[in-house]
Structure 1
Amino acid sequence: MAVSFLAHELSELCLGKPPLKSISTSATIAEAIEVLRSSDDSFVSVWSCDHSEFTRCQCVGKVCMVDVICYLCKPENLLCPSKALNALVSVVLPKVGGLVVQLESSSSLLEAIDLILQGAQNLVVPILQTKRGGISRRKQQQKSSTINNHNGVEFCWLTQEDVIRFLLGSIGLFTPLPAYSIDSLDIISPDVLAIDYYSPASSAVEAISKSLAQQTSVAIVDSDDGTFVGEISPFTLACCDETVAVAITALSAGDLMAYIDCGAPPEDLVRLVKARLKEKNLEKLLQKFTILTSLTSEVSTSSSSDEEGLTRSGKHARSSSYSARFVRNVEAIVCHPKSSLIAVMIQAISHRVNYLWVIEDDCSLVGIVTFSNILKVFRERLEVI
C-alpha cells in the first residue's frame, strides 16, 4: 500500500501552487532584490533561457536575501555596496550543486524523495502549458531580467515541506512508524552549526551560509554551561533586507539574534550599531546602505535616515501569532529526544521550518532533526515492506 502511495505523480503535489518568480542569469543582484521584495516566496529562481531558440529553459539555481546579505558582508563589498549590488546574480548563486532539480510533472513521489535524500532542496516542476505569447512575447521577455514564462510553460517549486505535508495526509499507511520516538529512530544529528552568544556576529557569516545550504540554522549557545539559547535562522534573515549586513559587522551573535527576531530592531540595538560603526570610523557605511536600500525599495530617499534604514530590516518579520517554546525569551522551535516522529512532523509543518532543535529538559543541546532525516526513515521503511 505504501509503495503504491509513493507512485503518485508530482502533478498532484502541484495543485494550487503559484508559478515561480524567475530572473535571468543576466540579472543583477539589485534586480534580484527587487523581485524578492515583490514576491511572497523567500527565494527567486534563476534561469538560463534563450527564447530565440526553441530549446529547453533551464533553472540553474535559486537566490534569497540571505545569499545577498552574506555576499555583502565581505569586506570589499561593505566598502563599496553599490558596485556589489550591480554584479550579476550568478556571483551569489550557491556553489553547492544539486540544490535545485528540474523534473517532469509525471515524475513520482518516490523519485522526489530520492532526489531530496541526495541533497535537492527545491524541485522545479511544470504546472501550466500556455499557448499565449508568441514570438513577440518571447522577444520581450528575452530583454527583461524577469522571466515567468519559459517557452510557454510555467513552473512551481516543490519543497521538502511539500513532500512531508503530503506524507502526513496518508500517515496511517506507515503505522506504527509515526509513533516511534525520534531517539529510537536514530534521526537526531549531533552535527550542528553553533556559535557562542558573545562571539562577533561577523564570525557566524560562514555558518549562516552553510545553514542555508543545509536548510537548517545556526544555534546560539552559552559556552559557559553549554545550554541552548536560541538561533540565527536563515528563515528569519530571508525576511530582512540588505541593511542587516551592516548590523552583522557591529553586533555580537546574541545581539544579532535579537536584532532580526523582534519584528523590527529594538531601538537600543539600532543605537548600538551606529555607535560601533562610529568607533570603527565606518559611519559612512551606514549612509551608503541606507541610500541603496531606498533606491531598491518603495521607500523614498528623501524620507530616509540612518536609523530608518536599519529599522526597515524587520519589515517582513514573523507574525505575532507565531507560537513557539521560549528558551531564554528567544523563539526557537524545539523538541525532546522522546518526541514521536509524527509530533515532530506536525510541529515543523505548523511553524514552517525544515528542522527542529532537540534539547533536554535542562536546555542542553542534543542535536537537530531535519526533514531530510525524516524522509530517510520513510524511504528505509519502504525497503522492508
Structure 2
Amino acid sequence: MAVSLLAHEVSDLCLGKPALKPLSVSATVADALAALKSSDENFISVWDCEDYSIGFGEENDGLGCCRCVGKLCMVDVICYLCREENLLSPSSALKTPVSAILPKIPGLVMHVDPSSSLLEAIDLILHGAQNLVVPLPAKRSSISRRKQHQKPSSCSPTSTSHNGREFCWLTQEDVIRFLLGSIGLFSPLPALSIDTLGIISSEVSAIDYYSPASSALEAISHSLITQTSVAIVDSEGVFIGEISPFTLACCDETVSAAITTLSSGDLMAYIDCGGPPEDLVREVKARLKEKNLDRMLQEFTILCSMTNSDSSSDEESELSPRRTLPRSGRYSRSFSYSARMVRRAEAIVCHPKSSLVAVMIQAIAHRVNYLWVIEDDCSLVGIVTFSNMLKVFREHL
C-alpha cells in the first residue's frame, strides 16, 4: 500500500547522493562565484561553523560545530550584481560577504535525521523547505577511525564534516522521483488530469515581451525562492516563453549586463543554451556605453574575450544558437505540449488535461520543478509545481 511506501526513511533516498561541497558563511561573493563555477551542481550549500554542539549534540545529528544555513546559485549572484548600487563597479560588489546575498527566508534549508520518514520529509517540504540536509553514513575506513580517536580540532570553514561526518541534501525532485518509482501504488490518482485534481495555480509572475528585462529582477528573485519561473506574454496574454532561474543558473555573471540593457524577449534569446547571439552581445556592449557603465562594460568585454578564447572556431560553431529572434521583434510559437518551445532555453509546457503522471515525467525529464499550463491557442492558464503534486499525494493519504 501507499502508506507503507511513505514509511521509508529519508536515508533510503540518499543512496548514491554526493556529499555537499561547503562554502563558509564568512566567504565573499567572489568566493561563491568561484565555487559555483567549479561545481557540478547549480546550488552550493553555505555553512556556519560556529559552535552548534549545544542542542545539536553529536549523538543527535552529528553536526557538532557546523550547520548548513542556506544555499546559493548563480541567480543570486546575477541579481545582486544587477542592483543599481553595484552596476558602476561589479568587482567591488564581489568583495561583499556572501551573507549579503543569502536568502533571509527561514526554513528553506533544514537539517533532518536520516531516520526521519518520507512522510515527515513531505510535510517539511509542504511547509516551505526546499532542501533537506541529511547526514551520510559515517565512513569506517582506518583513516576515519583514527580521526575519530583524535581530539576534535576547531571547526573549519571549508568542511561540512565533524569527526569525518559528511552530508547530502534531498530536494523536491528527489521525492517526486522516488514516488514516481512506485506510482502504481497510488492508482487511479496518477491517471487523473491536473485540471481535475485542481493543482493548477493561477498565481504566476508574468511580464510583457517588450518590457525591460531589468523590470523582471524582483520577479526573478521571487521565482528562485518559490522554485518557479517568470512567464513572458504578449499584450493578449499569449504565452511566448520564460525567464527561468533554472536556465539563468547555468549562465555566468556576464548575464547581469544583459539584464541591465536588454528587453525581456531579447534576454530570452541571450540565455539560450547555445550561448548568446553575437548581435545581442554587440547590443549589450553598445547600451552599456550609452548608460556610462564603463566599469561593467570593461569587465564584461574582458570576460567575453576570455570565454571566446577558451573555444576553438569549430566549438564556437557547434555552440552557436540554432536561431535568434528576428530584429523586427517577431516571435515564434509552438503548439507542442511535450517539448521546449522553439529553443532549448524556453519553457516546458503541458495542457490542463495532461495526467498527473505525464506531468511528473515531463518535469523530471527536463530537470525543472514546474510546468507551464497553456491552452490550445497558447493562452496561459497557470503553472503546476512539484509542491502542488506533493500536496495531492499527501491529501490522498
Give the alignment's TM-score, normalised by structure 2: 0.85
- Listed as ranges, the gaps of 5+ residues in structure 2 are 59-63, 311-315, 323-336
The equivalent position to 2:221 in structure 1, one of 209, 214, 232, is: 209
1:66 aligns with 2:43: no
| Alignment-derived partner of residue 19 in structure 1 | 19
The equivalent position to 1:91 in structure 2, one of 77, 87, 100, is: 100
1:200 aligns with 2:242: no
Change (3 A) 1:138 1:219: farther
The equivalent position to 2:111 in structure 1, one of 102, 107, 110, is: 102
Question: 3-state DSSP class of the match of 2:196?
Answer: coil
Alignment of 1:267-282 (within 5 A): 267-282=278-293
1:372 aligns with 2:387: yes
Change (3 A) 1:196 1:328: farther
1:245 aligns with 2:260: no
Change (3 A) 1:2 1:324: closer
Question: 3-state DSSP class of the match of 1:163?
Answer: helix
* CA-CA distance at 1:318 after TM superposition: 12
Q: Does the 8 A contact of 1:60 with 1:100 survive in 2?
A: yes
| Alignment-derived partner of residue 351 in structure 2 | 336
Amino acid at match of 1:221: V
Question: 3-state DSSP class of the match of 1:153?
Answer: coil
Question: 3-state DSSP class of the match of 1:331?
Answer: coil
Change (3 A) 1:11 1:190: same
After the TM superposition, which of the residue ranges 214-223 and 124-133 deviates more from structure 2?
124-133
| Alignment-derived partner of residue 50 in structure 1 | 50
- Find the aligned partners of 1:74 and 1:50 in 2 and give their Cα distance: 31
After the TM superposition, which of the residue ranges 125-134 and 42-51 deviates more from structure 2?
125-134
- Find the aligned partners of 1:319 and 1:238 in 2 and give their Cα distance: 18
Change (3 A) 1:4 1:227: same
Give per-residue Cα distances to partners, 1:106-129, cap 9 Å, x unaligned. Answer: 110000000010011111101132
Q: Does the 8 A contact of 2:50 with 2:66 survive in 1?
A: yes
1:178 aligns with 2:190: yes
| Alignment-derived partner of residue 360 in structure 1 | 375
Q: Does the 8 A contact of 1:102 with 1:124 survive in 2?
A: yes
The equivalent position to 1:234 in structure 2, one of 224, 245, 258, is: 245
Question: 3-state DSSP class of the match of 1:327?
Answer: coil
Give per-residue Cα distances to partners, 1:202-236, cap 9 Å, x unaligned. Answer: 0011000000000000001112x211000001011
| Alignment-derived partner of residue 300 in structure 1 | none
Q: Does the 8 A contact of 2:52 with 2:66 survive in 1?
A: no
* CA-CA distance at 1:367 after TM superposition: 0.1
Q: Does the 8 A contact of 2:66 with 2:161 survive in 1?
A: no
Question: 3-state DSSP class of the match of 1:97?
Answer: coil
| Alignment-derived partner of residue 297 in structure 1 | none
Q: Does the 8 A contact of 1:105 with 1:126 survive in 2?
A: yes
Give per-residue Cα distances to partners, 1:2-23, cap 9 Å, x unaligned. Answer: 1121010011100000001111
Amino acid at match of 1:162: D
| Alignment-derived partner of residue 133 in structure 2 | 124
Question: 3-state DSSP class of the match of 1:36?
Answer: helix
Amino acid at match of 2:208: D
Q: Does the 8 A contact of 2:289 with 2:297 survive in 1?
A: no
* CA-CA distance at 1:282 after TM superposition: 2.0
Alignment of 1:138-157 (within 5 A): 138-139=153-154, 142=156, 145-157=157-169
Question: 3-state DSSP class of the match of 1:33?
Answer: helix
1:351 aligns with 2:366: yes
| Alignment-derived partner of residue 288 in structure 1 | 299
Change (3 A) 1:114 1:36: same
- Find the aligned partners of 1:69 and 1:234 in 2 and give their Cα distance: 10
Q: Does the 8 A contact of 1:98 with 1:119 survive in 2?
A: yes
- Find the aligned partners of 1:33 and 1:138 in 2 and give their Cα distance: 28
- Find the aligned partners of 1:263 and 1:3 in 2 and give their Cα distance: 45
* CA-CA distance at 1:24 after TM superposition: 1.0
Query: What is the identity percentage for the equivalent residue pairs of Structure 1 and Structure 2?
Result: 69
Change (3 A) 1:353 1:30: same
Q: Does the 8 A contact of 1:49 with 1:150 survive in 2?
A: no
* CA-CA distance at 1:50 after TM superposition: 3.5
Amino acid at match of 1:269: L
* CA-CA distance at 1:248 after TM superposition: 0.8
Alignment of 1:153-164 (within 5 A): 153-164=165-176
Give the alignment's TM-score, normalised by structure 1: 0.87
